[in-house]
Chains A and B, each alone.
Chain A
Amino acid sequence: MAKVRGAVVVDTEVCKGCNLCVVACPTLTLALNRNVNNKGYHYSYMENPENCTGCTNCSTVCPDSCITVYRTKTEH
């Protein structure tokens, strides 16, 4: 069965660690990183990348437009 797989790329220097994408993510893919960016914010990252379906919920709620979403279908 074809499976939808996705991945997000977070612009870590623009991310302000507001946590809205983490809450909006239905597959528990995203989390806030323990590390901080140059501004001192805990930026968002893919904690469980294998869960991502590329649904774009995170990028839809992101106030700083720092999330880019990719999606593909795989056969395995």
Chain B
Amino acid sequence: MSVLTERINEIIKPENLVYAKSPLLNDDAMHYCPGCSHGVVHRLIAEVIEEMGIQEQTIGVSPVGCAVFAYNYIDIDWAEAAHGRAPAVATGIKRVMPEKYVFSYQGDGDLAAIGTAETLHAINRGENIVMIFINNAIYGMTGGQMAPTTLIGQITATTPNGRNADLNGYPLKITELIAQLPGAAYVTRQSVQTPAAVRKAKKAIRKAFEIQAKKIGTSFVEVVSTCSSGWKLTPVASNKWMEENMFPQYPLGDLKDSGRADADLYRIKG
């Protein structure tokens, strides 16, 4: 054995462990493409649930889209919703079992296209759920078609010359829309392309779950993500493309952190 291997083996000991995969993540290798942001967000959700110690009280609602098999990867209770209906299913679960932590995990095709009505109305009712929104500006699972969040000029399978605003409309800023609703307690937009961004996103997800415990409204966490297969770029180039093109359209940060204040304006006083 070389000196170097010996030195490495000296470091690799249980007492020196600083980071290991969360026990909530199953051993199944994820089906996502290399470099997909879904994997990071799955891990963050698993870590938050583990740190809060709410594994037995958490129910996730998985969407239709690439994350349709999310229930294979995080070791909690899951329900699978019809396309776009995850907020409606989450509403039902939360109302029947208000003591549970309920979150929906949706992509942009699910949440911002077919499920817009369910999304807006669930939040407008102020349901005490967490919604995680993965926005990669494309329909990843079906082969890279245009989504409502696709940028102007972005080339997809259904807009081969780039999205044209006259023909295809404008990118839907659904998170800004949601921030207007009194039922939303916490609305934020994060990303997971650098270590610093991942740590911030984890804090945001943790905060969203903590707000759910306070029962003051819906928490909404958008994660601006990459789709390297859909964008036809390498994972590293996708991150760069996202920073250059997605962030000007979808700027990061908290859009709303009002808690119950907004909703209280509508309540009858006295």
Contacts and interface: CB of A to CB of B under 8 A. Distances in A.
Interface residues of A, number: 34
14 contacts: A14-B29, A18-B228, A23-B236, A49-B4, A56-B18, A56-B195, A59-B19, A62-B43, A63-B32, A63-B34, A63-B37, A69-B18, A70-B12, A70-B16
A46 B8 CA distance: 10
Interface stretch (B20-28, B136-144, B243-251): B20-28
Interface of B: 4, 7-8, 10-13, 16-22, 25, 29-30, 32-40, 43, 192-195, 198-199, 228, 234-236, 239
Contact of B12 (A7, A23, A24, A63): A7
A65 B199 CA distance: 15
A60 B200 CA distance: 11
A6 B39 CA distance: 24
A64 B19 contact: no
Contacts of B192: 61
A64 B12 CA distance: 21
A33 to B, nearest CB: 14
A20 interface: yes
Nearest to A39: B29
Interface string A14-42: 10111110011000000000000000010
A18 B35 contact: yes
Nearest to A64: B39
Given A5-B11, A19-B234, A70 B199 contact: no
A24 B35 contact: no
Contacts of B8: 7, 46, 49
Nearest to B234: A19
Contact of B21 (A5, A18, A65, A72): A65
Contacts of A67: 19
Given A18-B35, A49-B8, A69 B19 contact: yes
A72 B35 contact: no
B29 A19 contact: no
A57 B194 CA distance: 8
A69 B11 CA distance: 10
B37 A71 contact: no
A68 B21 contact: yes
A59 B21 CA distance: 9
Contacts of B19: 56, 59-60, 67-69
Nearest to A57: B195
Nearest to B192: A61
A7 B19 CA distance: 11
Given A9-B12, A65-B22, A24 B195 contact: yes
B30 A63 contact: yes
